[in-house]
Chains A and B, each alone.
Chain A
């Protein structure tokens, strides 16, 4: 027995966990009705994401063919493996799985969390936003979501145009929100935009009904296609409700060369910041070269969706055990 023994109890109540099980069934039911089939992909992968703001966990595989040990990464999302299934002709698929992100813990974060991710061949991001909206209404009983472009949201709540304003304008706006010290030494446009969005936009959107923000700046495209009518923005969307970021979706980039260039750019940024470079997933690039069907995909933080459905303020309130007593 140690002093930790006293903290053996689940962080969520049994009653909440039973409700969570029912919600989980409703999610599966939603996709079954729409002929989207459930898949499972590996949690362990030989490569990981290059995104400078995502820190993966790694472990060591020892066994046949890897006598001296081979580094394996826990997935930060099942995106790459699911795209390989799509390229192999799966059609519409969804997955409910654990995703792992190091350095993320707090009121709304647990380093190991449950993700719902699905892909719709033939959909663009607009059609997928509609389907996600229907899922959220079905699970949380919310009203239909509002839609607003990233640019509109910034103009309305920060009185600046995020696509054309100067770095100094961003710094000034951050200073007005009380972040003068941070802003003064910040050279990165996206970091300032993210700070402003966190503090100056998020608290004002999606309070009564969920709110989609779409057309993010191209510099924050991640794995989304650029908008063919305005290449300053990418066909990426996020869903917010009551200060919670619930989902991130893309009209999926299907160009292998462009994808490789973005991964290499990520690694360049990592090098510049003194962070370790990450291995680029050769299997994903192979699948993109073979041909990813035109599709849109989205990842939903399922724990957060359940927090809203069950009216719980902290992620630990809907988890059997959080990182504190895992």
Chain B
């Protein structure tokens, strides 16, 4: 496995810390006048999602993490695993509940998702930034209302509950931003 010195740290580098793969977010060089220099590094732990600051002596080395992002299509879930497929090789990978986490509510069949692999196993599943979901249940809104008046909750086919404008009805397909969890528009037909 490769080792990286603090001089090689930059946003996006994957390193091992406390036995967990991490993504480097920021790297700042600090030196107290004369004396030892340090690097103040901001890191996101890829499994727990925790963001923390860690200080290294400049020049120290850290083990790299064998982490890879790949794009796969979501197929289906058998209740225990969520299955994804590479559309070119037809190779399939199964992610467990821990890897899918809260993003389960954004998984739509055939949507391209980013799967982060650590030593070949999925650790996180990231849905596309925008997904289209069918509304399975929402209160009928009052006629004449327009977007921006506070809206109402709507339950979608994947189980996600989104605030939608009052005019959106059960059975319609809507576009949602998965990063904020917010309604964007009605889907284009």
Contacts and interface: CB of A to CB of B under 8 A. Distances in A.
A172 interface: no
B57 A191 contact: yes
A197 B30 CA distance: 11
Contacts of B169: none
A194 interface: yes
Nearest to B59: A103
Interface stretch (B33-41, B115-123, B125-133, B179-187): B33-41
Contacts of A107: 28-29
Contacts of A178: 53, 55
Nearest to A101: B31
A105 B33 CA distance: 14
Contacts of B54: 181
A224 B6 CA distance: 31
Nearest to A275: B59
B32 A109 contact: no
Interface residues of A, number: 26
**Most chain A CB neighbours (cut-off 10 Å) among B55, B57, B59:** B55
Given A103-B59, A182-B55, A195 B36 contact: yes
Interface residues of B, number: 19
A132 interface: no
A248 B32 contact: no
B34 A222 contact: yes
Nearest to B6: A103
Contacts, number: 58
A222 B35 CA distance: 10
B32 A198 contact: yes
Interface in A207-229: 220, 222
A238 interface: yes
A106 B29 contact: yes
A198 B57 CA distance: 12
A179 B54 CA distance: 7
Given A103-B37, A178-B53, A182-B56, A194 B29 contact: no
A198 B30 contact: yes
B7 interface: yes
Contact of A190 (B33, B36, B37): B36
A248 B33 contact: yes
B58 interface: yes
Given A103-B7, A182-B56, A199-B55, A53 B37 contact: yes
Contacts of A254: none
Given A178-B55, A198-B38, 8 more contacts: A53-B37, A103-B7, A103-B58, A103-B59, A195-B36, A197-B32, A202-B32, A248-B33
17 contacts: A51-B34, A103-B37, A104-B31, A104-B37, A105-B29, A106-B28, A106-B29, A190-B35, A191-B57, A194-B32, A194-B38, A195-B36, A195-B38, A198-B30, A198-B32, A198-B38, A248-B33
Nearest 10 CB-CB pairs, A to B?
A106-B29, A194-B35, A245-B33, A198-B32, A194-B36, A191-B36, A238-B33, A194-B32, A197-B32, A179-B55
Interface of A: 51, 53, 103-109, 178-179, 181-182, 190-191, 194-195, 197-199, 202, 220, 222, 238, 245, 248
Interface of B: 7, 28-38, 53-59
